[in-house]
Structure 1
Amino acid sequence: MTTSEPVPADAPRAEAWLTAMAVPGRRWFSLSGAFLTLETVFTIARWGALAWLAQGLLEHRGTSRETVGLAVFVIAGVLALTAEWFAGRLRERGARAVADRARQQLAGALLPPAGRTSDTGPAEAALAMVDLVDDVADYHAQVAPLGRSAPLSMVAVLAVTAVLHWPAAIVLLLTTALMPLNLRLAGLFAQHGADQQLAATQQLNAIVLDSFRGMRTLRELGAVGRRGRTLTAAAERLNKATMSVLRRSFLSGMIMDVVITFSIAVNATYIGLSLLGYVQVPQAPKLTLFTGLLVLLVCPMYFTPMRTRASAFHQRERAETAAGAILAIVEDTPAEAARPALTLPTEPVGVSLDSVRFRYNGADQDTISADVEFAPGTWTAVTGASGAGKSTLLSLIAGLRLPSAGQVRWETSSGRQAPALGACAWVGQQTVLLDATVRDNIRLGRPDATEQQIRQAVEAAGLRAVIEGLPEGLNTRLGEGGWGVSTGEARRIAIARAFLRGARLWLLDEPTAHLDSDSEREVVEALRRATDGCTVIIATHSFPLAAAAHGVLALEDGHLRDARPVNAQ
């Protein structure tokens, strides 16, 4: 099946989606912001105790003052650390809430792609589900609590500075006026680099995944070396993009540090000269060691939220880029693609396609154009060239896709209904075996299956001899690091899974592909046993499998034509 990369969402929609994603974590972010504000208050108290203690030591005020100052310093320090710890835990909880909501939306769009007219490749889907969602969650975890605590924290520091010595507060205010320009500069530096890094990451992921999938073919063609050079070039592009982002971040951070250092240096020079008696501002209160030291200690705290905000600009650009990629996937699933609840029919299911048309985005013609009925309890083979649309046809019948026009309906004695996701059995060309026991692999789709039901599925799939030949029977571990089975045996495990589901409509996508004649015969016999009394629709190139069907349809240029009557015996 041809896949196409989703078109990125435009910036306004991506920004609106990014803002909406903060809602699940809003409560936790608000609490985290409150604790960050408390941390600032306790830290000011700690520095005040330290300045008071220093002045007492230099002036030899006595041990009682030292004891009180030390006690306040320790208590305030413990409270500040406690507030910071709670703020961090609440921030993490809010980030998890945001990530969970974003992954729910992605899962709804990707599993399955209901009604979508483009496919997201596994590499893009994995990147979106893991890394891009984390970019969005990390951005909100960094910015949302800061947005609530920064104004209060800065006002608290400014107020304390103004009470102690108002000229120092004026220097802080004048420096603040330079910050918005620097923050905007940081954002402009980050945007282009984030886009380049995402594109390079997506390309590298796709190349790595394709290389692992096609390793056997690459070896047979002697193309491993060329593929390695392609992989190296993609990795180098990602490295360059990442270094570009780091350089931009360093440059904008350096500009911010220059502004902050200049402000602190001006205040430190002024306070030093005032304490030495060289400078005296009219109407300004006299500086003491306590007030001068405390002003110098709290001045860096005034700039801490700004420094964090500057780094958040880089995180925002990454989050906006991630939001555009995620939204392109989410928005490709129409809102009207509501699906019926999962109900497993208890009788064979007839299938009708009434004037069904399906066309991918950007395609010049319909991939599927069909008017056909599949009678209950029959086997029907659908043949056609590779890429003709056989898998797309099965996905329409299963309800994994919505037709561009027309209707797909399942029919039973109780009436007609739209396809119900998960209510049919699907056996494809590739069988995924988890790193688990044979038993767990078989009951993957029905975790509550009893031992007797598992044994029945084993018998129906013709697996008994295979199970008896394994070292620990059903308890033998499969997958990486476990026992290996042949392709035909893996295919029969898939048949046992489907049988255990109890579905009465089976959709088979090349179930005997890549099998030798003996294995193919065994799989066909297993399918015959497992699907007794069920409706079976098979997409296949196999002549033996087509010959076993009651009817054969040919898919040519998107149109289904009878190769043999569907109801012929």
Structure 2
Amino acid sequence: MTTNEMYEKSDDAWLAACAAPGRRWFRLSGTFRTLETLFTITRWGALAWTAQAVMNRAGAHETWGLVAFAVTSVLAVGAGWTAGTLAERGARAVATGLRQQLTGALLPTAGRISEAGPAEAAWAMVDLAEDVADFHAQTAPMSRSASLSMVAVLAVTAAVHWPAAIVLVLTTALLPLNMRLAGLFAQHGADRQSAATRHLNAVVLDSFRGMRTLRELGAVGRRGRTLATAAERLNKATLSVLRRAFLSGMVMDVVITFSIAVNATYIGLSLLGYVQVPHAPRLDLFTGLLVLLVCPMYFAPMRARASAFHQRERATVAACAVRGIVKDTPAEVPRAAGPRLTEPVGVSLTAVRFRFGGADHDTVNADVEFAPGSWTAITGASGSGKSTLLSLIAGLRRPSAGSVKWQTSSVRQAPALGGCAWVGQQTVLLDATVRDNIRLGGPEATERQIRRAVDAAGLSGVIERLPEGLNTRLGEGGWGVSTGEARRIAIARAFLRGARLWLLDEPTAHLDADSEREVAEALRRATDGCTVIVATHSFLLAAAADIVLTIDDGLLHEARLVNAR
């Protein structure tokens, strides 16, 4: 089932469909849960038989009863352990399936950039997938085993003493209403807890990400109070959920305890001879003890189902959040296919429009062609749509209308993810060596290819001054190199990809004049013979372009013609 097909379903159907990856394990787990019930009934029967044998001083029966009790105890424990292991395996499969969907939606390989923020994305990947998986691990095996287990207990009880079975049946009628009330009671609390968790995640992430700015502004203390308030809000919401769960559980426990107490009182009085139901079979120690031992087992599935009502509300909230993230992820996405395009790539945008959800105007409204091998600069105010236009050309977003095509002398195709080089104003450098950071652009690159990329990006002098050259380890975020040097590492990484289309999003932003010049020169060397489209405020980069376009309210206008490079 594709993501889009799942999205067409109702919320309940979508939540149920999430169990598909683990359904096989859940079925097996439910089967072993039923076996556990049967072995447990047999175990209690053996115990009751042994007690009767002790009362009758039948030594042989005592021995066989103890042997049967030991064997069935081992079988019951083994069946329960196996059921739990299988349910955990199914939960892992469900969580993995959801995380794969989320990965496809959150990363550019999905054919779009998700509008989910980093905090919501992390929350979905870490917590929400587990909430849905835990719900299915608890309820899916139970839905298979609960009815069979209850029927087995009721059948044994009716076989040995039918009045006790009637008490169980009458008490059962009170439980569904309590379970329904428990679920309705928990829903509001689960929604509040979810909102509080999302808010706390966002506050924590923003606080860590902006710690330097907060410290410079002297706002750390104020941010700490905001964080404490968000944590207290989540604490109150969680306690509210726990109170509701405790109250509804207490009501169910009262009903179950009452049923067991009625049966226990009846059996006790019957054994003493004070009560005798007409036409009922005679009660002895074996019968009375067996009924008392199996009665709690009859209510165990209902107790688990009541607990699942609370888990269901949590899982429903989680599934809705996950569904909102993955809803627009296409089932199949064009990817860079071999052989790699070896000619400069032209780009055509035909009646392309793009509008963010909920916006009242188009962010991009373009009808333009970029010639193969040309350098085009796109200028415009911040927020005018430059980065969005680049993401449409790269295939990271899908246009609301119109089409984007890449073309060479022999090929015309939709944008292929991974088929172009991208350099932005933020360079991500890993806590690894310079060589490893450059090799991200081509994991199979040889040493000679890496050296060519270093030369093309103008990094040779930088590498020479580093203590261990290419083997110098950079700290997380690029500690050890300047911002301009980090940009040139990104250029070397892009060069290593061998792409003939380069998309540059403010590649010289926040650089001083010398660093800007060095990065511009590196780009001109690295992109020789390639098609380059750069969104920039830099006069230096615009002056290096063949054509300069200005974007205003999403519309592209030719600003001026600049001499070819």
With normalisation by structure 2, the TM-score equals 0.93
Within the candidate set 33, 51, 59, 1:54 is matched to: 51
Paired residues of 1:275 and 1:288 also in contact (CA < 8 A) = yes
Name whichever of 503-512 and 515-524 sits farther off: 515-524
2:3 matched residue in structure 1: none
2:188 matched residue in structure 1: 192
Say if 2:485 is the partner of 1:513.
no
1:211 matched residue in structure 2: 207
Say if 2:532 is the partner of 1:536.
yes
Matched to 1:54, the amino acid is A
1:460 matched residue in structure 2: 456
How far residue 220 of structure 1 moved from its aligned partner, in angstroms, is 2.8
The separation in 2 between residues aligned to 1:47 and 1:205, in whole angstroms, is 49
Change in 2 beyond 3 A, CA 1:75/1:117? closer
After TM superposition, the structure 1 = structure 2 runs for residues 348-367 of structure 1, keeping only pairs within 5 Å, are: 348-367=344-363
After TM superposition, the structure 1 = structure 2 runs for residues 527-566 of structure 1, keeping only pairs within 5 Å, are: 527-565=523-561
Paired residues of 1:53 and 1:65 also in contact (CA < 8 A) = yes
How far residue 414 of structure 1 moved from its aligned partner, in angstroms, is 0.8
**CA RMSD in angstroms, aligned pairs only:** 2.3
2:134 matched residue in structure 1: 138
Within the candidate set 20, 24, 27, 1:23 is matched to: 20
Change in 2 beyond 3 A, CA 1:168/1:551? same
Name whichever of 140-149 and 46-55 sits farther off: 46-55
2:397 matched residue in structure 1: 401
Matched to 2:40, the amino acid is T
1:517-548 CA-to-partner distances (Å, cap 9, x unmatched) read: 23222222222222221111111222222223
The separation in 2 between residues aligned to 1:113 and 1:560, in whole angstroms, is 27
Change in 2 beyond 3 A, CA 1:322/1:478? same
> Which stretches in structure 2 are left out of the alignment for 5+ residues?
1-5
1:199-222 CA-to-partner distances (Å, cap 9, x unmatched) read: 111122122222222222223333
Matched to 2:277, the amino acid is V
1:121 matched residue in structure 2: 117
The separation in 1 between residues aligned to 2:272 and 2:477, in whole angstroms, is 75
Paired residues of 1:435 and 1:480 also in contact (CA < 8 A) = yes
SS in 1 for 2:259: helix
Change in 2 beyond 3 A, CA 1:44/1:497? same
Within the candidate set 401, 414, 419, 2:415 is matched to: 419
Change in 2 beyond 3 A, CA 1:276/1:480? farther
1:230-280 CA-to-partner distances (Å, cap 9, x unmatched) read: 222222221111111111111111111111111111111111111122211
The separation in 1 between residues aligned to 2:120 and 2:131, in whole angstroms, is 15
Q: How many correspondences in the alignment?
A: 559
Paired residues of 1:342 and 1:421 also in contact (CA < 8 A) = no
SS in 1 for 2:108: coil
After TM superposition, the structure 1 = structure 2 runs for residues 79-118 of structure 1, keeping only pairs within 5 Å, are: 79-112=75-108
Name whichever of 31-40 and 15-24 sits farther off: 15-24
Change in 2 beyond 3 A, CA 1:78/1:454? farther
SS in 2 for 1:420: coil
Change in 2 beyond 3 A, CA 1:136/1:526? same
The separation in 2 between residues aligned to 1:566 and 1:86, in whole angstroms, is 73
Within the candidate set 216, 225, 235, 1:229 is matched to: 225
After TM superposition, the structure 1 = structure 2 runs for residues 24-423 of structure 1, keeping only pairs within 5 Å, are: 24-62=21-59, 64-112=60-108, 119-333=115-329, 338-339=333-334, 342-343=337-338, 344-423=340-419
The separation in 2 between residues aligned to 1:272 and 1:22, in whole angstroms, is 46
The separation in 2 between residues aligned to 1:91 and 1:296, in whole angstroms, is 30
Paired residues of 1:95 and 1:138 also in contact (CA < 8 A) = yes
1:315-355 CA-to-partner distances (Å, cap 9, x unmatched) read: 111111112112222223466x7535534311111111122
SS in 2 for 1:385: coil
Percent same amino acid at aligned positions? 77
The separation in 1 between residues aligned to 2:495 and 2:203, in whole angstroms, is 36
The separation in 1 between residues aligned to 2:442 and 2:289, in whole angstroms, is 69
The separation in 1 between residues aligned to 2:337 and 2:121, in whole angstroms, is 25
The separation in 1 between residues aligned to 2:381 and 2:193, in whole angstroms, is 39
